[in-house]
Structure 1
Amino acid sequence: MSDLNDLHKTPLHALHLELGARMVPFAGYAMPVQYPAGLMAEHHHTRSAAGLFDVSHMGQLTLSGPDAAAAFESLMPVDVIGLGVNKQRYGLLLNDQGGIIDDLMFVNRGSDIFVIVNGACKDGDLAHIQARIGGRCTVTPQFDRALLALQGPQAVTALARLLPGVEQLVFMTGMPATWNGGDLYITRSGYTGEDGFEISLPADRADAFARALLAQTEVKPIGLGARNSLRLEAGLCLYGNDIDVTTTPVEAALNWAMQKVRRTGGERAGGFPGSDLVLAQLDGTQALTRKRVGLIALERVPVREHTELQDLQGETIGEITSGLLGPSADKPVAIGYVKPEFAAVGSRIQALVRGKAVPMEVAPMPFVPNRYFRG
């Protein structure tokens, strides 16, 4: 484990220490894993009220110029050109083998495309994007900006006191705003399955803005521990665990993230890195060897990442990539990969936990219903 003093610090580092956070290394940063209330309380508070997450370790960048949308679209199996102004979309940066370099969020802001990538991947992503399309558009890293996530059913009430107008946003849309002279950009999105917002803002405004949010009765600080349990219950992938460069979007059951215009017929279908393999997997001409599924343990035994999955005869058929006792689901939930013949909902398999076979069932995701605000 690296010395915390050697790690990058977010603009809210001093605030985390003041709030009693337990800090851990994550994506090269010292990050709060939990506060004194603890993971379970933080998880339930986010589901019932509003939780404030510091996600400033994430990478922010902009793509600008008249060809930016078409250039960015050439890197992903995703419709960028057709995205309306202030609309947001989930994207997948692929390598030439169809493997996932990173998953990301992007917004068409009219003047530019605003992209948020994973913290551990941001330097590699930036280099990849600049190498592939840097001659077609201007790629500007904004790694010095802060990023906060306010998540939960009361997030809109709390945020609207500081930024009137945010209540008009719906899921996966955004808007610019100003606060104390700083330029903000807010999207109604997040990584918890709850309604909520992500707020990009200048680093020198982050501490004051976070304190203004925490002064609202609905809001409490939430660490990485609860962020992980919330996203797992929502069935959302964690890059590096559930998806990586060895995984294609089809294996990862992310077909929904590839719009029809990029998949079938027409001049914009295909043409992205690894498209021959990905499209062949989509139409069934290339058979899958594994598929991502949701799993529920039928005994109250948490089944963690890297746990072997077997058929009922004890033959290896896959592996868990994320797993824990879901605080809201109130049962052990997991994400993993299995051979395709075991991927159907209701399939019975087993996990080998410390030498003991734990019965598992393939289950639909999310494990807890999403509550995104769609208007």
Structure 2
Amino acid sequence: MTEATEETITPLPLDGWHRAQGARMVSFAGYAMPIQYEGIMAEHLWTRENAGLFDVSHMGQLSFTGEGADKALETLLPGEIQALGVDRMRYSLLLDETGGIHDDLMVTRRANDIYMVVNGATKFDDIGYMREHLPDEISMNHMEDQALLALQGPKAVTALSRLVPGVEALYFMQAGAFEWDGATLWVSRSGYTGEDGFEISVPADKVEALAQALVDQDEVKPIGLGARDSLRLEAGLPLYGHDLSLETDPVSADLTFAMQKRRREEGGFMGADAILRKLADGPATKRVGLAIEGRLPAREGAEIYAGDTLIGAVTSGGFAPSVGEPIAMGYVDAAYSAPGTRLQIEVRGKRIDAVVAPMPFVPHRYHRKGAAK
């Protein structure tokens, strides 16, 4: 959570709607946002079994235009942007000179621009950093008049296609423009829960009508930040500001899939020398999943031990409703990162047993093209 004073908390377009739905509001990334409605456990399980609606309008939506925008972005991102097809999207990372992670983000090539979604807590820093490093001929637009919703869960496609016919044809990491109620929606089949689902960019003046139309579907309930966090943790997905930071890099964070073959071979992106050297030699620490024995959860900052040796720290942790036990992720010395390695975590002055576990903790259920039915 980001600390904010009362004077700096900004309401999002759905603020009144959330309150009318019974949400408990908290400050997050400088915005008033719903932490829960009926309870984190119930909302988590509903999303895994049905469809949950999340307001992620605090996130930054950016568009880039200008000749060579894709090539220019490749100086900052380690992903393959130039070969990205129209209406295709990719997870990537905004890096600094040392290979540290400024932010993680989603980038999509559209017919007339490149669309990017960045984290809410870092978006203004990201904008400043990219303006500083991108050529003047590349225009960047902060799309402040757009809200953003995420509809996640196995029944998300049923609910959304009822309102917006055609979205069912999208596969995971595909996107497109659709018309609804006189507005153009930008819809991607993506999300951050490990479930099938969609993210929907909608004009801010239409977002309340769309949110209401969605929760009017039997499959859909509004879901808060609490369940969003437990869902992404079960899915093994890192959260910026916790599991990712300027002190972490793509290799240590186990995010090398975000560096496609050409980029690894050619380099040419911010921090490439340090990252490619670490890729060749191996990192000193690695992000791992941790299955915790017993019922006591380990929270961010808890120290991880191998015997009497301090080898790392927890970066995210909590009870996993779908797993039925506490789980965590954190960074440990690489020598202790193999699945099955038995470790201990210090929680409230006592050591609890944990085992390095493969992630995700629950299987991803993305709607991939060519996947078995």
TM-score w.r.t. the length of structure 1 is 0.96
What is the deviation of 1:4? 4.8
1:297 maps to which residue?
Answer: 292
Let me know the Cα RMSD of the aligned residues: 1.1
Select which of 27, 33, 36 maps to 1:34.
36
Identity, in percent, stands at 53
What is the deviation of 1:178? 1.7
What is the deviation of 1:183? 1.8
1:184 maps to which residue?
Answer: 185
What is the deviation of 1:159? 0.2
3-state DSSP class of the match of 1:89? strand
Contact 1:91 1:105 in 2 (8 A): yes
Q: Is the aligned partner of 1:24 residue 2:26?
A: yes
CA distance in 2, matches of 1:45, 1:52: 10
1:272 maps to which residue?
Answer: 269
* Range with bigger deviation, 61-70 or 363-372: 61-70
CA distance in 2, matches of 1:150, 1:5: 31
1:197 maps to which residue?
Answer: 198
**Cα gap change, 1:261/1:368 in structure 2, threshold over 3 Å: closer, same or farther?**
same
What is the deviation of 1:184? 1.1
CA distance in 1, matches of 2:221, 2:7: 26
What is the deviation of 1:156? 0.2
2:301 maps to which residue?
Answer: 306
CA distance in 1, matches of 2:68, 2:5: 43
Task: Supply the AA of the counterpart residue of 1:351.
Answer: I
Contact 1:4 1:24 in 2 (8 A): no
Instruction: Give the total of aligned pairs.
Output: 367
Alignment of 1:109-120 (within 5 A): 109-120=110-121
CA distance in 1, matches of 2:348, 2:317: 15
CA distance in 1, matches of 2:352, 2:228: 26
What is the deviation of 1:256? 1.1
Q: Is the aligned partner of 1:345 residue 2:347?
A: no
Select which of 10, 17, 22 maps to 2:12.
10
Task: Supply the AA of the counterpart residue of 2:318.
Answer: L
CA distance in 2, matches of 1:350, 1:247: 23
CA distance in 2, matches of 1:330, 1:362: 17
CA distance in 2, matches of 1:218, 1:96: 46
How far does the alpha carbon of each residue in 1:122-171 deviate from its partner, in whole angstroms, 9 at most, with x for none?
A: 00111111111141411111133100000000000000011100000000
2:52 maps to which residue?
Answer: 51
What is the deviation of 1:74? 1.2
What is the deviation of 1:356? 1.1
Q: Is the aligned partner of 1:87 residue 2:82?
A: no
Task: Supply the AA of the counterpart residue of 2:101.
Answer: I
Select which of 308, 330, 334 maps to 2:324.
330
Contact 1:34 1:222 in 2 (8 A): yes
CA distance in 2, matches of 1:324, 1:294: 12
Contact 1:71 1:136 in 2 (8 A): no
Task: Supply the AA of the counterpart residue of 2:326.
Answer: P
2:363 maps to which residue?
Answer: 369
Q: Is the aligned partner of 1:213 residue 2:208?
A: no
CA distance in 1, matches of 2:150, 2:214: 11
**Cα gap change, 1:348/1:132 in structure 2, threshold over 3 Å: closer, same or farther?**
same
CA distance in 1, matches of 2:322, 2:232: 12
What is the deviation of 1:3? 4.9
Query: Runs ≥4 in structure 1, deviation > 2 angstroms?
Result: 1-6
What is the deviation of 1:5? 6.2
3-state DSSP class of the match of 2:85? coil
* Range with bigger deviation, 353-362 or 25-34: 353-362
Q: Is the aligned partner of 1:157 residue 2:154?
A: no
CA distance in 1, matches of 2:103, 2:71: 19
Q: Is the aligned partner of 1:281 residue 2:278?
A: yes
How far does the alpha carbon of each residue in 1:215-261 deviate from its partner, in whole angstroms, 9 at most, with x for none?
A: 10100000000000000000000000000011110010111111111
What is the deviation of 1:299? 2.1
3-state DSSP class of the match of 1:248? coil
3-state DSSP class of the match of 2:122? helix
Alignment of 1:56-75 (within 5 A): 56-75=57-76
CA distance in 2, matches of 1:204, 1:134: 33
What is the deviation of 1:94? 0.1
3-state DSSP class of the match of 1:263? helix
**Cα gap change, 1:139/1:26 in structure 2, threshold over 3 Å: closer, same or farther?**
same
Task: Supply the AA of the counterpart residue of 2:127.
Answer: L
3-state DSSP class of the match of 2:54? strand
1:135 maps to which residue?
Answer: 136
* Range with bigger deviation, 2-11 or 272-281: 2-11
3-state DSSP class of the match of 2:206? helix
Task: Supply the AA of the counterpart residue of 2:260.
Answer: Q
Q: Is the aligned partner of 1:121 residue 2:122?
A: yes
3-state DSSP class of the match of 1:120? coil
CA distance in 2, matches of 1:47, 1:348: 29
Note the residue ranges of structure 2 that are not aligned, 5 or more in a row. none
CA distance in 2, matches of 1:352, 1:27: 29
Task: Supply the AA of the counterpart residue of 2:294.
Answer: E
Select which of 328, 337, 350 maps to 1:356.
350
